[in-house]
Amino acid sequence: MPVSCTTQCGRRAILRRPKTGTALCKECFFEAFETEVHHTITSGNLFQPEQVVAIAASGGKDSTVLAYIMKHLNDKYDYKLNLMLLSIDEGITGYRDDSLDTVKQNKEDYQLPLKILSYQDLYGWTMDKIVEEVGKKNNCTFCGVFRRQALERGAVMMGASCIATGHNADDIAETVLMNIMRGDIARLGRCCSSVTSSDGALPRVKPLKFCYEKEIVMYAYFRKLVYFSTECVFAPNAYRGHARTFLKDLERIRPSVIMDIIHSGENLMFQSGVKTPQQSTCVRCGHVSSQELCQACTLLTCLNEGRAKHGVSKKSHKIKTLREPV
Ligand code: SF4
Q: How do residues 77-124 score in pLDDT, each as one tens digit?
A: 999 999 999 999 999 998 888 889 999 999 999 999 999 999 999 999
Q: Are 218 and 29 in contact (CB under 8 A)?
A: yes
The pLDDT of residue 315 is 46
The pLDDT of residue 326 is 43
The pLDDT of residue 124 is 96
The pLDDT of residue 275 is 60
Q: Domains of the chain (ranges plus CATH)? A: 35-312 (3.40.50.620)
Mean pLDDT (the chain) is: 89
The pLDDT of residue 320 is 44
Residue to mutate (ligand 1; options 90, 137, 239; most atoms within 8 A of CB)? 90
Q: Does the predicted model carry a pTM greater than 0.75?
A: yes
Residue identifier of the C-alpha nearest atom 8 of ligand 1: 140
The pLDDT of residue 103 is 95
The pLDDT of residue 317 is 43
Closest ligand 1 atom, residue 140 Cα: 2
The pLDDT of residue 181 is 87
Identify the residues whose C-beta falls under 6 Å from ligand 1: 90, 127, 139-140, 143-144, 232, 234-235, 237, 323
Q: How do residues 143-186 score in pLDDT, each as one tens digit?
A: 999 999 999 999 999 999 999 999 999 999 999 999 888 888 77
- What's the gap in Å between 174 CA and the centre of ligand 1? 16
Residue identifier of the C-alpha nearest atom 1 of ligand 1: 143
Alpha-carbon distance values, 62 to 66, 116, 214 (Å): 6, 18, 11
Closest ligand 1 atom, residue 324 Cα: 8
Residue to mutate (ligand 1; options 230, 237, 240, 244; most atoms within 8 A of CB)? 237
Entry field: residues in the chain: 326
Buried-state track 87-121, b at ≥16 Cβ within 10 A, e below 16: bbbbbbeebbeebbebbebbbeebebebbbbbbee
Regions of the chain with pLDDT less than 50: 315-326
Cis peptide before 325 (omega within 30 of 0): no
The pLDDT of residue 321 is 41
- What's the gap in Å between 21 CA and the centre of ligand 1? 33
Residue identifier of the C-alpha nearest atom 6 of ligand 1: 232
